């Protein structure tokens, strides 16, 4: 029994035979990773002949699917290939990860090199066998070959992500075009968000939009570099950019994120957390400079991004939770964005470190997470702007309300003494001999008996009706005020001659000929009106008001219910 168990365990855990990649007539695309065996070359001394001779030292990859992690060593890949009937001809060897510095590809048969190609972003773009964003070469396989060997030497300082395939030309082109379309669409989205945020910053002068623009710029730059679009279209053959932009854009995107979070959650974050977020931004800024000057390599950048790169979300979480508990949707949006960011970042870190296998979703996880963050952060910026606009409107409304209360009579809604003083001072500044200002002071005749007989409520209702009639009797733009009790003031400016002032005064006087109806009651009260002109009679506000008031009292003494100009009677 033990013998059978030992035999079963040995069969289960012993690696199977190294199967060949079968090129057949019906095959269009073959994933080579299941056939890949690897050999590390820490001394970088192995040549092709020595690597081929070391067949027994090649082992099955122990890392996750299609990734070898952040190994420093040069790595050799060994893939045996068999060509069946109809499988001969041209196949495209493609390694769909742009950030590989040098790749040497050999097709061998019986120890002889049939074909050779050098790939990688360390080579001039024009010298690439196929000028695309990934590393690809066209290989010719002879018919009926069963002992072909594809040897691949990978020498790169960063992550060794190696999704390696053999495809016919048509499916290779179809896959390349789909990826180009995806990157173009996401790139256009990034450009639109960038331009919109810059336009908002220029018009509103809100620094939050400038920080968002930096976040979008560097996140988009990382994706453009990571997927080879930059090398293909933007900075072709610029070696500094190829070696450094992945680290520079990642670090600066994290710095911009820290600044954005600090600004967006400023009112809900403890000041020490705000200082810490600024410190994280500063650290990433300094690391960007150091990496750009080759003082730190991409492995140090990777360590920073997997530690302090996640800190803006952790530091901002208390502020987001505080907003969420208070019912502010900004907090909920932040939490949703960070959940997506953590998941996407964890997946990407796993791929880079060799613990998460490579497929379309894992390879694009960071780009998907960054795009989600950009959209959510734009929503947050818009909500923050809307909240500030609402606060500004509310403050303006409160200010206008306080101003109105300070300058308006509470009973009638007319200007009070303070409001009249400001309006009169302003109008006097515009008064000239051919644009006369007329000021009328009115005092009701017979108001006290109404107040005594029916009470103050009825008296107040009568005053409101009188105020309404005065408004409708005057021109648009003329000022009407109540100074207190039953005394009113009317101000009319822009009159061209004195006769016009007299006509307006008579119109006011005639407005009291009809009884006033209110609260199912009717009351006949008249008014005595005195007026003065500026600058004809006087030019000072207080003097003008006193002159009109004196004319009104003179009218009272002459029998009431009359219009009297300062210094003359009608």
Residues involved in catalysis: 486
Sign of CA dihedral 543, 549, 553, 559: positive
Cβ atoms of 309 and 254 closer than 8 Å: yes
Q: Which two tokens stand for residue 554?
A: 């003179």
- Report d(CA 22, CA 266) in Å as an integer: 61
Helices and strands in the chain: count of H runs, count of E runs: 17, 18
Q: Give the whole-angstrom CA distance, residue 227 versus residue 219.
A: 13
**Do the bridges between strand 487-495 and strand 436-445 make them parallel or antiparallel, or are there none, so unpaired?**
antiparallel
Task: List the strands of the sheet with 89-95, edge to edge.
Answer: 29-31, 164-167, 89-95, 135-141
- Report the b/e string of 311-332 with b at 16+ CB within 10 A: bbbebbbebbebbbeeebebbe
Q: With H, G, I as helix, E, B as strand and everything else as coil, classify residue 164.
A: strand
Sign of CA dihedral 99, 104, 106, 111: negative
- Both tokens of residue 569? 């009677």
Taken as a whole, the chain contains a residue count of 570
Residues 506/563, Cβ–Cβ less than 8 Å: yes
Q: Which residues pair with 59 in a beta bridge?
A: 38
Those residues with Cβ within 8 angstroms of residue 321's Cβ, 6 or more apart along the chain or in another chain: 331, 335
Compute the distance between CA of residue 176 and CA of residue 182 in angstroms, rounded to an integer.
10
Q: 322 φ, ψ to 5°?
A: -65, -45
d(CA 52, CA 46): 10
């Amino acid at each position: 029994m033990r013998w059978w168990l030992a035999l079963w365990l040995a069969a289960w855990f012993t690696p199977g035979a190294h199967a060949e990649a079968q090129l057949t007539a019906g095959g269009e695309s073959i994933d080579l990773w299941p056939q890949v065996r690897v050999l590390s070359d820490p001394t970088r001394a192995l040549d092709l002949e020595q690597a081929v001779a070391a067949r027994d030292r090649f082992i099955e990859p122990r890392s996750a699917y299609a990734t070898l992690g952040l190994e420093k060593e040069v790595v050799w890949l060994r893939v045996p290939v068999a060509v069946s009937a109809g499988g001969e001809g041209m196949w495209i060897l493609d390694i769909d990860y742009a950030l590989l510095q040098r790749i040497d590809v050999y097709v061998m048969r019986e120890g002889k090199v049939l074909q050779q190609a050098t790939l990688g972003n360390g080579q001039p773009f024009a010298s690439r066998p196929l000028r695309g964003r990934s590393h690809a070469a066209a290989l010719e396989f002879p018919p009926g070959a069963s002992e072909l060997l594809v040897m691949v030497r990978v020498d790169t300082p960063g992550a060794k992500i190696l999704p390696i395939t053999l495809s016919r030309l048509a499916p290779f082109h179809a896959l390349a075009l789909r990826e180009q379309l995806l990157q173009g669409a996401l790139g256009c989205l990034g450009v639109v968000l960038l331009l919109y945020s810059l336009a908002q910053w220029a018009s509103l002068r809100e620094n939050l939009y400038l920080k968002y623009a930096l976040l979008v710029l560097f996140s988009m730059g990382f994706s453009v570099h990571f997927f080879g679009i930059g090398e293909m279209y933007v900075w072709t053959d610029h070696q500094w950019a190829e070696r450094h932009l992945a680290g520079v854009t990642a670090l600066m995107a994290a710095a911009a994120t820290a600044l954005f979070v600090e600004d967006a959650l400023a009112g809900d974050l403890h000041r020490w957390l705000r200082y810490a977020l600024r410190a994280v931004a500063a650290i990433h800024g300094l690391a960007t400079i150091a990496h750009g000057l080759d003082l730190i390599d991409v492995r140090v950048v990777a360590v920073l991004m997997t530690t302090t790169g996640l800190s803006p979300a952790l530091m901002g979480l208390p502020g987001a939770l505080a907003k969420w508990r208070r019912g502010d949707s900004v907090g909920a949006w932040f939490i949703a964005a960070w959940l997506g960011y953590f998941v996407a970042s964890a997946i990407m870190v796993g791929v880079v470190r060799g613990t998460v296998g490579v497929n379309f979703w894992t390879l694009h996880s960071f780009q998907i997470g960054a795009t989600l963050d950009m959209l959510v952060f734009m929503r947050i910026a818009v909500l923050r702007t809307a909240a500030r606009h609402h606060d500004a409107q509310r403050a303006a409304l409160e200010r206008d309300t306080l101003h109105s209360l300070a300058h308006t009579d509470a009973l009638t809604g007319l200007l009070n003494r303070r409001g009249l003083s400001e309006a009169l001072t302003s109008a006097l500044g515009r008064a000239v001999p051919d644009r006369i200002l007329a000021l009328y002071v009115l005092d009701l005749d017979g108001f006290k008996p109404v107040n005594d007989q029916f009470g103050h409520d009825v008296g107040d209702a009568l005053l409101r009706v009188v105020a309404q009639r005065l408004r409708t009797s005057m021109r648009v733009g003329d000022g009407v005020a109540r100074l207190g009790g039953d005394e009113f003031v009317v101000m009319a400016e822009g009159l061209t001659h004195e006769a016009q002032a007299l006509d307006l005064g008579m119109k006011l006087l005639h407005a009291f000929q009809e009884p006033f109806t209110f609260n199912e009651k009717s009351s006949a009260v008249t008014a005595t009106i005195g007026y003065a002109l500026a600058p004809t009679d006087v030019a000072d506000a207080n003097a003008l008001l006193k002159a009109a008031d004196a004319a009104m009292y003179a009218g009272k003494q002459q029998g009431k219910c009359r219009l009297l100009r300062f210094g003359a009677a009608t």
